Amino acid sequence: MVVIQTVQCPYCGKSFESSIDVSGGSQQYIEDCYVCCQPITFRTSVDYDGNLLMIEISREDD
């Protein structure tokens, strides 16, 4: 299942929508900002029913 979530880039500050695949459970991955193309680290937490509990984004260099 894919969840669409609006996130704010930690580099340029612009908001954009990101597709988060919750079927794989909690995870960490890197996705480029759709505005400035900088790499953003995404950390997601998913419960046993596949509900997105938390999304944390940070700069790749943090």
Mean pLDDT by 10 residues, the chain (62 residues): 95 96 93 95 95 94 80
DSSP state of 46: E
Q: Two tokens at 11?
A: 């580099």
Q: Number of H helices and number of E strands within the chain?
A: 0, 5
This prediction's pTM: 0.87
State the pLDDT at residue 61: 83
Report the amino acid identity of residue 31: E
Q: In which residue are the tokens 């996130």 written?
A: 7
Contact 57, 31 (CB under 8 A): no
Nearest CA among 52, 21, 18, 15 for reference residue 36:
15
